[in-house]
Amino acid sequence: MKALVTGAAGFVGSHTSEALLRLGHEVRGVDALTDYYDPMLKKANVQVLQDWARFDFRQADLLDADLAGLLDGVDVVFHLAAQPGVRSSWQNGFGVYAEANVMATQRLLEAARLSEVRRFVYASSSSVYGRAARYPTSEDAPTRPFSPYGVTKLAAEHLCTLYADNWGLPTVSLRYFTVYGPRQRPDMAMNRFIAAALEGHAIPVYGDGEQVRDFTFVQDVVAASLAAAEVADLAPGAVVNVAGGGSITVNGLVELLQTVVGRPVHTAEQPRQPGDVLQTGGTIDLAERLLGWRPQVAVPEGLAHQVAWQQSLLG
């Protein structure tokens, strides 16, 4: 296949691109290389992909890029570009979220409906659920985001569904649950915790640390996305949870990290963050039924991979 991966220089985008290239596909990667975190990290991700002649990288912003050109000859779109992060979507920051997550997605959907694309995979988020009434949460549960970020991810998901309903665009929205693993964004919990443990600083824990997450290993997320691109019988507009299949508290994660790094770590309590839900957890029955997918990597194993990666960066 020929794939367009938006956000190809980012955490999940670079892994998705790499997996596609390893499978022999052609990949056109697009990324604006924004400075939400150090663009050098993104450039390093692109560098890895440039080992393949079948990888073509374009630095561009979806808000003003020539999208028809980017979609030319493309069979499958993996739309992973976004302004991520739950906790920084308040105040003036919201404009960036609205533009990068809603406006850019609408532009891309408009261009995609006029193209030959046979599947449009959108990276949605567990944050669309907000404080759910039931855990694990299934796809038919009410969506009531708890953060401005979640609102933008849900709005874009609705756009995907309505382009499917009106135009038959074969979209599928995958609700990723807190993705982790090598190349994870530096603002996320695991990255910050591991960095603190390896450098001997206190681990910043928001609130009492009893919040629960359904962490999902990045290679599992990639496998779900590839399955969503390939399966034949998927009704346009499908919405599917992609969750790790286990739950752990932030305090539990700190304890586990201690055993992985083999030395005691200490924590520093920080104020609870607005927008942070107390729990996430997703059912995975639908993913199994529609995509033939189940997560393979449990948190202890995945955490060890991420620790090894962060250790290698320290030299």
**Which residues make up the interface to ligand UGA (CB under 6 A)?**
84-86, 125-127, 176-178, 188-190, 192, 204-206, 211, 213, 250, 273, 276, 280
Angle at 220 between CA 214 and CA 222, to 5 degrees: 120
Considering the complex, state which of residue 70 and residue 282 has its C-beta at the smaller distance from ligand UGA.
Answer: 282
Q: How far is the CB of 303 from ligand UGA (least distance, A)?
A: 12
Q: How far is the CB of 126 from ligand UGA (least distance, A)?
A: 4
Considering the complex, state which of residue 99 and residue 276 has its C-beta at the smaller distance from ligand UGA.
Answer: 276
Q: Which of 97, 129, 149, 163 is catalytic?
A: 149
Q: Which token pair is 277?
A: 């839900």
Active site residue 180: no
Considering the complex, state which of residue 215 and residue 293 has its C-beta at the smaller distance from ligand UGA.
Answer: 215
Q: How far is the CB of 61 from ligand UGA (least distance, A)?
A: 19
Considering the complex, state which of residue 7 and residue 237 has its C-beta at the smaller distance from ligand UGA.
Answer: 7
Q: How far is the CB of 306 from ligand UGA (least distance, A)?
A: 11
Give the orientation angle of helix 39-49 with respect to helix 11-22, to 10 degrees: 0
Token match 């976004």: residue? 82
Considering the complex, state which of residue 95 and residue 204 has its C-beta at the smaller distance from ligand UGA.
Answer: 204
Q: How far is the CB of 202 from ligand UGA (least distance, A)?
A: 11
- Give Rg (Cα) of the chain: 19
Catalytic residues: 149
